Homo-oligomer: A and B are copies of this chain.
Amino acid sequence: MTTWLTNAWYVAGWDAEVDSAPLARTICGVPMLFYRKLDRSVVAMRDACPHRLLPLSLGFREGDSIRCKYHGLKLGPDGAAEEMPIKTDPVNRKVCAQTYVVHERHRFVWVWVGEAEKADPALIPDLWPCSAEGWVFDGGHYPVAADYRLMIDNLMDLTHETYVHDGSIGQQEIVEAPLETQVIGDRAYVRRWMPGIEAPPFWRGALKRDGLVDRWQICEFLLPSAVMIDVGVALVGAGASLESHDQGVRGMVVDFMTPETETTHHYFWGMARNFDLADPGFTARFKRQQGGVFEEDREILEAQQKAIQANPDLKLSAYRIDEGGVRARQIIARAIKAGGQSAEAAA
């Protein structure tokens, strides 16, 4: 029994990560190899030669195929042998590396680690701001030595910003604003509305207008392991509300947590925005700033993971602020029990 959903799509990498050399990455406990074919589609294969298990990622690309570095077994992009170690030997077509269903969407390469016949692209979480018109999107990949669910907890509760990020993005209003948690199908939401406040420096710069603002933060959990955070401000009186708020400046923080092992995960983080679109330096500056914020989170999460192991007699508790994370974990557990996501639930 794993702590993650197996019949589900996980982010294996950013689209550009598989452009050049084959990428070796362990996804949900499975060592995998990713590379692009000449037609630009992506191959995902068990990163172990079916012959003597050497990682194929150490091997040689030949056209759309990969040749093992040890004895030269050549495998096609379907994983099947194309040439035996001795070239003149007849090819045994039963020799085959496992491949995985891959789909590219929203700037990410997605991989399905469970039963291939259930790999419906409609189940890919709808991270719409990553590929919507009028938005720009970019981000990074960070390895974290902590259970992926600790990052979901972290993201579904933004009160921690006051303490963990006290030197950067923390703000007392966040702790004081009322929050509201809601579950709709397989999605969990945590919403905060902060009307008529001073805009923090970052948002004032983005808005380029003076005056009190309404500010919102809406965290949304999506199966199997995504959190999108809708953040922004609009001038008081512009008509923005929790439900509709394109009157000001708006950013969507997109987070995807891919389990690597039970106690480590790949954290994919990105930011989409609908303002300053023509400023190429904005994203670079924002990623740099976010890098510092992220290091603060990583320190906390990795210390928390170690503490969980050092205090086996203690359990995580849940208070009111944790309701978002609690709901997200319930949705995951329910989906694991059901054997996977259903298209109905995802719709």
How near does chain B come to A276, taking the closest CB pair, in angstroms?
A: 32
| Given A69-B300, A71-B321, A53-B308 contact (CB < 8 Å) | yes
* A87→B320 CA distance, assembly (Å): 12
Q: Contact between A160 and B71 (Cβ–Cβ < 8 Å)?
A: yes
| Given A87-B176, A175-B87, A157-B53 contact (CB < 8 Å) | no
Q: Contact between B55 and A303 (Cβ–Cβ < 8 Å)?
A: yes
The number of times this chain is found in the oligomer is 3
- Taking CB atoms and an 8 Å cut-off, the chain A residues in 40-59 that contact chain B are 46-48, 50-55, 58
Nearest CB in chain B to that of A53: its residue: B307
Chain B positions within 8 Å of A311 at CB level: 31, 46, 48, 53
Chain A: how many interface residues by the 8 Å CB criterion?
50
* A164→B316 CA distance, assembly (Å): 48
Nearest CB in chain B to that of A72: its residue: B163
Chain B positions within 8 Å of A294 at CB level: none
In the complex, A20 has a CB within 8 A of chain B: no
Q: Considering residues A46, A50, A304, A307, which has the most beta carbons from chain B within 10 angstroms of its beta carbon? A: A307
**Chain A facing B: main interface SS:** loop
Out of B95, B160, B175, B300, name the residue touching A317 (CB < 8 Å).
B95
In the complex, A85 has a CB within 8 A of chain B: yes
How near does chain B come to A172, taking the closest CB pair, in angstroms?
A: 9
Contact with B along A47-82 (1 / 0, CB 8 A): 110111111001010000001111110000000000
Chain B positions within 8 Å of A162 at CB level: 72
Q: List 10 A-B contacts (CB under 8 A).
A: A48-B310, A52-B153, A52-B322, A55-B303, A69-B300, A70-B300, A71-B160, A72-B162, A72-B175, A86-B321
A interface residues (Cβ-Cβ under 8 A, vs B): 26, 31, 46-48, 50-55, 58, 60, 67-72, 84-89, 92, 95, 153, 157, 159-160, 162-164, 175-176, 300, 303-304, 307-308, 310-311, 314, 316-317, 319-322
